[in-house]
Amino acid sequence: MQNLLNILSNGQSLFINFIRIAICIVMVWIGGLKVFQYEADGIVPFVTNSPFMSFFYNHTNDTAVNAEGKTVAAYHLHKNPEGKMVAKNIAWHESNGTYIFSYGLGAVIVIFGFLTLLGIWFPKIGLWGGLLTFGMSIVTLTFLITTPEVYVPNLGGDMPTPYYGFPYLSGAGRLVLKDIIMMAAGLIIASDCAQRIKAMGNEVPS
């Protein structure tokens, strides 16, 4: 047991670097996927309902009547399930600016990932990577407030639906909630970089 405690206590700097690598993998992978149609379509509910990003789309305020005769946000009628290609829906997303925005967002996320990774060697760069990771995670977590799709809907059925709405997270909601870990990780690596920058400043030239 003592050996394990020694390994864990002496390996903190390595574990912090592992956090950097993990964040970079997640951001580069997810950011890179933003150039593909299915991923760009999938973020539309988050962006459309976000007060911070909705202005990037052209049809944010558009409404339409669904099959049940209810007036809903237009994007509800143009969802492409993952793995399915529907030409009219893709055309709508093109006019909405869905894909252009997704390309830009993906590039930003990839850059954040690499800034974070570079903190292993360059603490001043890594400091920005950690802070930007923290800030991005805050924005992502606001989706828990602004996006209806993050909670289980009441779709009815042949018996009452007991679990819907807050706090019953849907698959999308569970994915968003995980960003609280990214937020904490961003602060940890930013703090580590700040300590290293201060130590460099305190070094006395020989």
**104 in a domain, yes or no?**
yes
**6 in a domain, yes or no?**
no
Lookup: tokens for 71: 């007036």
pLDDT score recorded for residue 206: 47
**43 in a domain, yes or no?**
yes
* Contact predicate 121/136, CB 8 Å: no
* Contact predicate 99/93, CB 8 Å: yes
**69 in a domain, yes or no?**
yes
pLDDT score recorded for residue 68: 87
Residues of the chain with pLDDT under 70: 203-206
Q: Going along the chain, which residue ranges are E strands? A: 63-65, 71-73
pTM as predicted: 0.91
pLDDT score recorded for residue 57: 98
**59 in a domain, yes or no?**
yes
**47 in a domain, yes or no?**
yes
**121 in a domain, yes or no?**
yes
State the residue range of the domain holding 159. 17-200
Domain count, the chain: 1
Lookup: tokens for 16: 């912090």
pLDDT score recorded for residue 203: 65
Lookup: tokens for 9: 């206590």
